[in-house]
Amino acid sequence: MTSSVRPPFTRESAMEKVRLAEDAWNTRDPEKVALGYTVDSWWRNRAEFLNGREEIIAFLTRKWNRELDYRLIKELWAFTGNRIAVRFAYECHDDSGQWYRSYGNENWEFDDDGLMMRRYACINDLPITEADRKYHWTLGRRPDDHPGLSDLGL
């Protein structure tokens, strides 16, 4: 499998790659998301270490079983060659109804086919009230006219 957006990245292709990743994660479909990673992709997500698509699928399945009504926005931070850095924020709630906004940054490294080989994610969670939510689009892809992180002051 290959990706239509491959390194070396330009500003435009890096921004496209970020949006494609955001769109995939907003499907909340672990198997679909995992296809953007190499079969032996290596992740550090918070304090959890994953290796390969099977572990990625299991991780994302657990994640979206507990992070309900998940909505994500990613924003390009920097890029060079086959690497991209992003910042992101997502909103979700747990099964008790407590909402969270989780902030973080990720560093990505891609193979020549445009699949992510490495993902390093640092994430912090902030409990919020439902009234503090900023992401109100219908579950799925963020609409093109919805503000991004900088526009929302995040």
Contacting residues for 135 by C-beta, under 8 A, at least 6 apart:
71, 73, 90, 91, 142, 146
Is the CB of residue 79 less than 8 Å from the CB of residue 112? Answer: no
pTM of the model: 0.96
- Give all domains of the chain, ordered by start, each with its CATH number: 11-132 (3.10.450.50)
Q: What is the pLDDT of residue 4?
A: 86
**What is the rounded distance in angstroms from the CA atom of residue 50 to the CA atom of residue 117?**
12
Q: What is the pLDDT of residues 55-83, one digit of tens each?
A: 999 999 999 999 999 999 999 999 999 99
Confidence of residue 32 (pLDDT cuts 50, 70, 90): very high
Mean pLDDT, all residues of the chain: 97
Say whether pLDDT at 107 is over 90: yes
Say whether pLDDT at 1 is over 70: no
* Residue 13 CA to its chain's centroid (Å): 17
